[in-house]
Structure 1
């Protein structure tokens, strides 16, 4: 806003971070606006159209019931970013042992698991027909993470882990996952905490762990916790808990900036659409920064 109280654009470039100190996003002031790029944000219409074209389902290939989705005008689009499947291929080719845990406040988890399974097991993705060669398994049973003032409970089928037995038990459970799967996080808890970081998706991090690195990727991660606090409607934020000593159970809440590009990745959706290796690059940055932190800790 200008000193006269009028909205002024400070930059025509897209960015995850404000162009200068004191800048605020249009969304934070006015919320989600239908037809944004046809009205106030018309200067960004070209960027939208360009990336929608890049996100189209490959021409000449049949629509897939779970991997493609119809948009405006009946145009077909990818339902899952192709750069995600590229990440899986790259990690396998690099010989890395990894697991993928989807986390969502919504009800879309069963479809996500079905889509990923269809691509990995049936080779149904036209851009990645060789995904079954990766031999990756998908746990099709959706799990739940439920929070309260008494603690956090993670459950899936017969599995159940609670922070009432200590935070490290849940951390060790997530560290032991060896497949692709997912959990629905607790939307009502998030809402009861005014949609703030206090009710966000819990993530436990052990910076002393020499064997397992947790990386949380989400387009609603924000580097500035103050910005997060004053704009509580931003969805899917995290509650970061760091173990203070090796093997210990005591935790403290960490700021996003402490873990940014180490265990937290704020997705740049435009780059994730336009750059097939986007997620692979971001994971490599986290791996390098994590290793550097380990070496500094050892020193």
Structure 2
């Protein structure tokens, strides 16, 4: 826990109260380090927070403040010029469809399974969506009820990476439902096993490593990029120069 302690004066945006007299980082420094590194490399990327809980407004506010140059450890983030939408959206699932709403936006997969893939592929800046916990619980906390993620191995222009400490190789006990478009231009994805996309588009966070190593998430992205090139090659595509979309 010592590595998680917030240094210096208490900050109600970037830190949370823990033990008496102790405050801890709300968001790991490794996350801000990832934003800083991708920006310095001139990468085109977006970040989408996906949570079952009610913590999104606070997390988005902290990221917005950091990108305004107010994080004491990462003042250079003010140069990243990433817009932050402080209004969380919702993703709700059923047997028939997945529905995304945010403000006036509403998209559903019933008529076209690619709608949400295209939406997240063109996402800009940083935002967040509350996923459907009750649906996950109804599906016994299995992949089938997890947070949906769409992957098109025939589209080398974007690389979706989902990072979550509850991702498991056991599809009966994991938090993401990966869906892959097997045919070019297809609108009907297939459910994919976690093992197919593990360390390709799905990253199971090692929290201890993420706390101890500020380059942890950067290493995760690098590893996924290397593996994604091979994944695309297996789908008949050459190595991509993809845009990053972190979820």
Residue of structure 2 equivalent to 1:57: 6
Residue of structure 2 equivalent to 1:283: 221
Q: CA shift at 1:65, angstroms?
A: 1.1
- Residues 1:130 and 2:76 are matched in the alignment: yes
Equivalent residue for 1:206, pick from 140, 152, 159: 152
Conservation of the 8 A alpha-carbon contact between 2:36 and 2:76: no
Residue of structure 2 equivalent to 1:140: 86
Equivalent residue for 1:66, pick from 13, 17, 25: 13
Partner of 1:285: helix, strand, or coil? helix
Largest Rg, 1 or 2:
1
Q: CA RMSD in A?
A: 1.3
1:182-226 deviation per Cα after TM superposition (whole angstroms, max 9, x unaligned): 00001121222222222110111111111011000000001233x
Residue of structure 1 equivalent to 2:62: 115
1:1-299 correspondence runs (5 A):
52-58=1-7, 61-121=8-68, 123-225=69-171, 229=172, 232=173, 237-298=175-236
Structure 1 outlier segments of 4+, above 3 Å: none
Gaps of 5+ in 1: 1-51
Higher-strand-fraction structure: 2
Partner of 2:83: helix, strand, or coil? coil
Question: So what's the TM-score if we normalise by structure 1?
Answer: 0.77
Question: So what's the TM-score if we normalise by structure 2?
Answer: 0.92
Conservation of the 8 A alpha-carbon contact between 2:29 and 2:214: yes
Gaps of 5+ in 2: 238-247
Q: CA shift at 1:136, angstroms?
A: 1.3
